[in-house]
Amino acid sequence: MKRDIVVIALFVVAAILFVLNLLEIGKFFDVYKYFSIFTVVLAIYLQTNVKWKKPLILLSTCFFILLLHILLSDSISFPFVGTVLMVGAVFSIATDSTRVRIPKSKEPLWIKPTLIIIMFLFLAVFVFLPLYTIFSQAFAKGAETYFAAIRESDSWAAIKLTLLVASVCVPINTIFGILLAWAIAKFEFRGKSVITTLIEVPFAISPVIAGLIFILLFGSFGWFGHYLVEHNIKIVFAIPGLFLATAFITFPFVARELIPLMQEMGKDDEEAALTLGASGLQTFFKVTLPNIKWGLLYGIVLTNARAMGEFGAVAVVSGLIRGVTMTMPLHIEVLYNEYLFAAAFAVASLLTLLALVTLVVKTVIEHFIALQRKRAFSETSEVFKGN
């Protein structure tokens, strides 16, 4: 049976990584050994056609790598196993959702495997190696030090504040994004193009400038500063400032995902529901929301990811008050500047895990969006064939 060219390229990448490990190239040369193991297993994983065998291959790989860590290192390093799980899950969903027959091209046979090898080597050096570095440095002094750094009062306060900011800003921007997308996609009015352009403003300006905007508005010497000081209302250098800055930076994501989706859907379904006697809320929850649910979830995931990882705007308005206005990204920078590397990497590994979970959720949603579009296309094709 002829092997797929991607699988052959993966085996070549594994061989190159193993040679780099033998030659002890680089400070973290030992990591190439694990990457080569992972690449070989990934090749076997992609080559396996029986779906129920794939989780077994992935699970056995994780236990094998965990066993290597136990036998070859002084302390057990769990994060790499989690990284393998996350990356393997993303590859699984991506390959299952994008597996299509591609017609043969007239390009030379060596181009495709060469490009694939370069791609995987690039990912190994610029994606997997930094991930491994974060988790290995986080557990460099053992699991006890790692969990102690997470449980430390300032770190725990930063974690809770990050989750609080995300839990407040994401629902607000979700509601605002739905209303804005509804107005732009379903109605015609003057200034529509201007509003559509203004949605891009948070992407066009630097996050630091966005933070300075709120300082100029709500600071003690800002436009509303005198009124706020007289009434003892704190916005900047307090938690409300974090909410405002994060909400401003993240508000376009939901609207940007829903506007083209709603424009593509048109207004026929809603008008039919209203004609049949449905109210506005019934039309939204029974007709519109089911049609936009995957696009909406996609926008929510992107909003949440940006809200948890925002640094620039939050750093300006927070005042860097320990245990009060410092989110996880700010706390990581402070710990690193104070040479508390183990604690900084411990908090960074937790933020990285949240990002990897977000990546997996994003990939799952993309998979369902692709299935929904494929189903809609097939239904449209059947209608045209019937006519």
Look at residues 99, 120, 140 and tell me which one is the last residue of a structural domain. 140
pLDDT at 232 over 70: yes
C-alpha pair distances (Å), 348 with each of 42, 53, 152, 239, 341: 27, 34, 14, 22, 10
Answer yes or no: do 260 and 332 share one domain.
yes
Answer yes or no: do 69 and 158 share one domain.
no
Q: CATH number for the domain including 275?
A: 1.10.3720.10
Residue 284 lies in a domain: yes
Answer yes or no: do 303 and 221 share one domain.
yes
**Interval 82-90 mean pLDDT:** 48
Cα separation, 361 vs 93, in Å, equals 10
Answer yes or no: do 60 and 23 share one domain.
yes
Structure tokens at 169: 């800003």
Answer yes or no: do 48 and 79 share one domain.
yes
**Interval 162-175 mean pLDDT:** 93
Residue 145 lies in a domain: no
pLDDT tens sequence across 304-313? 989 998 898 8
Number of domain units in the chain: 2
Answer yes or no: do 120 and 222 share one domain.
no
Answer yes or no: do 55 and 197 share one domain.
no
**Interval 141-151 mean pLDDT:** 85
Side chain identity, residue 157: A
Answer yes or no: do 37 and 78 share one domain.
yes
Look at residues 78, 107, 140 and tell me which one is the last residue of a structural domain. 140
**Interval 221-245 mean pLDDT:** 88
Residue 199 lies in a domain: yes
pLDDT tens sequence across 350-381? 888 888 788 777 777 777 777 776 776 676 66
Whole domain around residue 370: which residue ranges? 150-386
User: Please, which pLDDT band fits residue 79 given cuts at 50, 70 and 90?
Assistant: very low
Predicted local distance difference test score (pLDDT) of residue 82: 45
Mean pLDDT estimate for the chain: 77
Cα separation, 255 vs 302, in Å, equals 11
Residue 112 lies in a domain: yes
Residue 274 lies in a domain: yes
Answer yes or no: do 213 and 346 share one domain.
yes
C-alpha pair distances (Å), 205 with each of 63, 243, 310, 328: 46, 18, 14, 23
Cα separation, 40 vs 9, in Å, equals 10
Answer yes or no: do 160 and 86 share one domain.
no
C-alpha pair distances (Å), 43 with each of 38, 97, 116, 192, 238: 9, 17, 12, 50, 51
**Interval 94-113 mean pLDDT:** 57
**Interval 97-103 mean pLDDT:** 47
Answer yes or no: do 106 and 167 share one domain.
no
Answer yes or no: do 168 and 126 share one domain.
no
